[in-house]
Amino acid sequence: MTIIDGKQVSSDLKAELKAEVAELSARLNAVPGLTVIIVGEDPASQVYVRNKAKSCVETGMRSTVIELPASTPQEELLSKIGELNDDPEVHGILVQQPLPPHIEEYAVTMAISPSKDVDGFHPENVGQMVLGNLDKGYISCTPYGILELLSRYNIETKGKHCVVVGRSNIVGKPMANLMLQKLKETNCTVTVCHSATANMPELTRQADILVVAIGRANFVTREMVKPGAVVLDVGMNRVEDPTRKSGFRLTGDVDFGPVSEIASAITPVPGGVGPMTIAMLLKNTLQSFRRARGIES
């Protein structure tokens, strides 16, 4: 059984991006720039934003964080996004979720220029992904990270049955669409399961590749997994643990211990899919920089 080490792959990828940014900086006297906007003071969001900024700086990119109060009117936020769209030094724009209730998420998504939507959420980028034009848009970072893990671990996907548990716009739907594409890392037959799926264990047991992103701790048990399957756990849940100083521990959507005994490969939580999300965000930002400069990948 192979533990798919997303932390190590992320570190390797960041080192590669750092070398590429350094070469481009020396040649062009310019670097990719990522701007993150955070509205309000959600503690988890603040941690995510700090981690993104830190990773950005570590790879030699320019990081800018714009902090706005929770009371910020929607029009003010949209105006700020418009300014960033027009700024040639900004190559990636990300608005951290969740947003305050009075701000419409869809309006924010639509406000970001597709050419700077390095999160891959704009309908134009989603459409390019569905059509298979992956070189013309940006892929949502978490599914993109899973593709990177499959590639770097040389996991055979062609003709395999991939079952995706979850149908969110951030992970489930784009993951299913990507696994359908005719790519080296995909080319699967795909089934999507969700909260209304009947007889879900019957379907998950058919999976050669099982991607779980349902947001429920230890939801997928050993009995739901086919021996020899590759299991990719996207979940990140806090569960009470009185033995920890914090009073909780992080666990995925997969019951890791028992499932790892029968899987051929599996991602741990933490340290599996999670670290890849930021790495792919940086990769998308570098790609945006290259496109803005007319440089082929």
Q: Which residues are catalytic?
A: 52, 96, 119
Pairing status of strand 2-3 against strand 248-251: unpaired
Residues 6+ apart with CB under 8 A from 137: 114, 120, 124, 125, 126, 127, 128, 129
Of the candidates 162, 127, 197, 175, the one whose C-alpha atom is nearest the C-alpha of residue 273 is 175
Task: Report d(CA 175, CA 188) in Å as an integer.
Answer: 11
Write the CA distances from 38 to 46, 70, 97, 141, integer angstroms.
8, 9, 8, 18
Write the CA distances from 36 to 45, 92, 105, integer angstroms.
11, 8, 15
Write the CA distances from 173 to 54, 87, 124, 129, 190, integer angstroms.
29, 31, 15, 11, 11
Residue ranges with strand state E in 20-116: 33-39, 62-68, 92-95
Backbone angles phi, psi at 255, to 5 degrees: -75, 90
Give the three-state DSSP class for 153: coil
Calculate ∠ Cα 279-293-89, nearest 5°: 70
Task: Report d(CA 51, CA 103) in Å as an integer.
Answer: 24
Give the three-state DSSP class for 176: helix
Evaluate whether 60 touches 31 at the Cβ level (below 8 Å): yes
